[in-house]
Amino acid sequence: MPNKLSGKIAIVTGASKGIGLSTAKYLAAEGAAVVINYASSREGAEKVVGDITAGGGKAIAVQANVASKAEIERLFAKSKEEFGQLDILVNNAGIYEIAPLGQITEEHFHRLFNLNVLGLILTTQEALSHFGPEGGSIINVSSIVSTRSPAGTAVYNATKSAVDGLTRTFAKELGQRKIRVNSINPGPIETEGAHSTNSVDDTSVAS
């Protein structure tokens, strides 16, 4: 009996680690061919591809900074060249960085918004020309932070609140094209990103 995603093609941004890695492996286990996007962790991305192919799945790794329109176009072109039509886009790539009000800088603001918000918009735009007439699915990874609003996360919180708003709006815009747009808002999860910002220790987790 075929898996429920047999024959489907998925792009997962930021899939070399953390939530993206787990998502990519799940999609592959359900039968989808998966494009593992990464920005800098080539070794991590290639390991994910190796794990998927070793289990009989299909996957490739493609480097691209999804805050760049030109690199996004290259990502999707490579996906089409390798697998053909797109069925699933998971907008997972993002930066988790904390800064209390007094430490917010222009660089911090633009770094987070360029990837977490603009990147999501640009990848969604590009995906529209790759979905077929039967539509597809877009899944945006937001965060419980968008509603919990913990201290010290103002800019990150703002980006994830924007993701929530974009998801609702795009769902209304794209529904007539049979393209579903949903978000998931995870709670505390121990990831490499959480460790890199010193927001998690060996006995706790962070969102």
Active site residues: 156
Q: DSSP label at 103? A: G
State the angle between helix axes of 42-54 and 18-29 in degrees (0 to 180), rounded to the nearest 10: 20
Q: Are 123 and 35 in contact (CB under 8 A)?
A: no
Q: Quote the CA–CA distance of 149 and 47 in Å, as a whole number.
A: 35
Q: Give the per-residue SS3 of 16-32.
A: CCHHHHHHHHHHHHCCC
Interior angle at CA 173, CA 117 and CA 207, nearest 5: 35
